[in-house]
Amino acid sequence: MTVPGRTLVLGLARSGEAAAAALERRGVEVRRVDRSLGDDTDPALLDGVELIVKSPGVPKEHPLVAAAHVPVWSEVELGARLLPVRLAGVTGTNGKTTTSELLGAMLGTKVAGNVGRALTELDGQVEDGELVVVELSSFQLEDVHQLRCEVAVLLNLEPDHLDRHGTLEAYREAKLRIFENQRGDDTAVVPRGFGAVPGDGVRVEFHVDDALPAEPLIRGRHNRENAAAATAAARALGATEEAIAAALRSFPGVQHRLERIATVGGVEYVNDSKATNVGAALRALEAIDAPIVLVAGGRGKGESFAPLADAARGRVKVAVLVGETAAELAGELDRAGVANETAGTLERAVERAAVAAEPGDVVLLSPAAASFDQFRDFEHRGEEFTRLVRTRLG
């Protein structure tokens, strides 16, 4: 690609720093801007700038983005232009990380994007034409322009991030951008019966009951659906049935997603901190065939907790609630007749859950909400839950 001129990198989390470093290696003058460094809204920061690279956490309403008269790219758009790679993309409301990592295992290739390793972190570590699996969030897809996925996977589409996107339609449009630059020889992998998608890729459908070359090690019907999607994508990319089967049999799942962390006094403790929306928490409840003590709550994302409360009836013995959404969750659980108590903090919740649980029960952290009211991110929340269980109860 033609190397851009002076670039403003807005947001200096991991992807922002990786983008800035990749640009500077090419001699580009980079202006780093982040709230932690001072005023990140001064219009003078745009002086002489030819490009903005925006971190996923920065909304399009940010003053610098709204005032910009230059292109605005996501970090994955930059990575797709800078790196000489082929991309297999995975998006969806739930299951993105699991499916991306499983597909990477089937193909024996690197995984980047929303999974924690920014795409531009691979700068200098990939060969010409190398295939990379990239997990793509709606926040990243908002600002793609030329990014093209040889195989693009949409897992599912449910209400999420409505606090950011405003409407389900806007969220849907962001997700479907994964397909828009596909060519006739590319592949679009979608759930069976899903409506039309943009782009020119060959349509391949998947379903939870698809025949697979092996049954997945990871538990839950939703994970079998993820495995079916990964299998369809891997086949489209030329993976052998033997390689697909080996990955299905051995892939243990991802951290913070239905992660078994300890059994104490006959009670199993499961870290599902990655369940940051109601749909993800519903999948966790469905995957566990034991009485559940549910730890839930955090920062809301503009969706109703009513479906979670209804699903908890008959599955959840008691819900222990934390964070900003505790009162809202309590109201819905009361309506559904599900016992609940408010603990406030995760530390207190672990203590209360341990008291409520009996041998054979599962204490499940599946918050159905974002973590930013009390933690840096869902990883921090899951790590703290794990620490509390192992040090205080183990």
**Is the model's pLDDT at 116 over the cut of 90?**
no
Per DSSP, helices labelled H in the chain are 14-24, 63-67, 75-82, 96-107, 138-141, 162-165, 168-176, 221-236, 241-250, 278-287, 306-312, 326-336, 346-356, 378-388
Q: How many residues does the chain have?
A: 394
Average pLDDT score over the chain = 94
What is the percentage of the chain residues whose pLDDT exceeds 70? 97
Query: What is the torsional sign of CA 319, 323, 327, 329?
Result: negative
Q: Backbone dihedral region of 323: left (phi > 0), alpha (psi from -120 to 50 degrees) or beta?
A: left
Q: What is the pLDDT of residues 129-152, one digit of tens each?
A: 999 999 999 899 999 999 999 999
From the list 54, 62, 94, 114, the catalytic residue is 114
**Phi, psi (5° rounding) for residue 205?**
-105, 150
The per-residue pLDDT for range 321-370, each reduced to its tens digit, is 999 999 999 999 999 999 999 998 999 999 999 999 999 999 999 999 99
* Cβ atoms 66, 60 nearer than 8 A: yes
Topology at the third CATH level for domain 259-393: Protein-Tyrosine Phosphatase; Chain A (3.90.190)
Instruction: Supply the pLDDT for residue 166.
Output: 64
Q: Is the pLDDT of residue 5 over 80?
A: yes
Q: Which pLDDT value is given to residue 158?
A: 77
Whole-number Å distance between alpha carbons of 379 and 251: 20
What is the predicted pLDDT for the residue at 164? Answer: 61
Burial 218-245 (b: 16+ CB within 10 A, else e): bebebbbbbbbbbbbbbbbbebeeebbb
Which residues sit opposite 241 in a β-bridge?
Answer: none
> Which pLDDT score is estimated for 234?
98
Indicate the pLDDT class of residue 237, thresholds 50, 70 and 90.
very high
Q: What is the DSSP letter of 370?
A: B
Under 8 Å between Cβ of 226 and 287: no
**Low-confidence winner among 108-117, 125-134, 221-230, 268-277 (lowest mean pLDDT):** 108-117
Contact 248, 226 (CB under 8 A): no
Domain 7-70 has CATH 3.40.50.720: yes
Q: Grade residue 394 by pLDDT with cuts at 50, 70 and 90.
A: low
The pLDDT of 246-262, averaged and rounded, is 92
Q: What integer is the mean pLDDT of 232-249?
A: 98
Tokens standing for residue 215: 């049954």
Catalytic residue among 110, 161, 256, 301: 161
Per-domain boundaries in the chain: 7-70, 83-250, 259-393
Tokens of 24: 């500077």
Token digits of residue 69 = 């008269």
Task: pLDDT band for 99, please (50, 70, 90 cuts).
Answer: very high
Q: How far is CA 207 from the centre of its chain?
A: 21
The correct answer on CATH 3.40.1190.10 for the domain covering 83-250 is yes
pLDDT of residue 301: 87
Distance of alpha carbon 59 from alpha carbon 166, whole angstroms: 11
Per DSSP, the three-state class of 246 is helix
Q: What pairs with residue 295 in β-bridges? A: 320, 365
Asked about 222 being catalytic, the answer comes back as no
Cβ neighbours of 312 (radius 10 Å): 27
Helix (H, G, I), strand (E, B) or coil at 136: coil
Q: How confident is the model at residue 1 (pLDDT cuts 50, 70, 90)?
A: low
> In 3D, which of 108, 28, 115, 129 has the Cα closest to residue 76?
115
- pLDDT average, residue stretch 279-287: 92
pLDDT of 187 higher than 60: yes
Known catalytic residue: 380?
Answer: no
Listing DSSP states for 31-83 in one string gives: EEE-GGGS-S--GGGGTT--EEEE-TTS-TTSHHHHH--S-EEEHHHHHHHHS
Q: What is the rounded CA–CA span in Å between residue 234 and residue 248?
A: 12
Least confident of 93-107, 126-140, 148-162: 148-162
Stated as kind and residue range, the H or E segment containing 254 is none
CA distance 284 to 298: 17
Judged against a pLDDT cut of 70, whether residue 226 lies above it is answered with yes
Distance CA(264)–CA(351), nearest Å, equals: 13
Whether the predicted pLDDT of 38 surpasses 90: no
Contact 136, 155 (CB under 8 A): no
Look at the block and give the residue holding tokens 């709550």: 297
296 forms beta bridges with 321
371, 273 contact by CB (below 8 A): yes
Calculate what percentage of the chain has a pLDDT beyond 90.
83
Q: Quick check: is 223 catalytic?
A: no
* pLDDT at residue 392 is higher than 80: no
Residue 191: what pLDDT?
97
Catalytic residue among 54, 62, 96, 165, which?
96
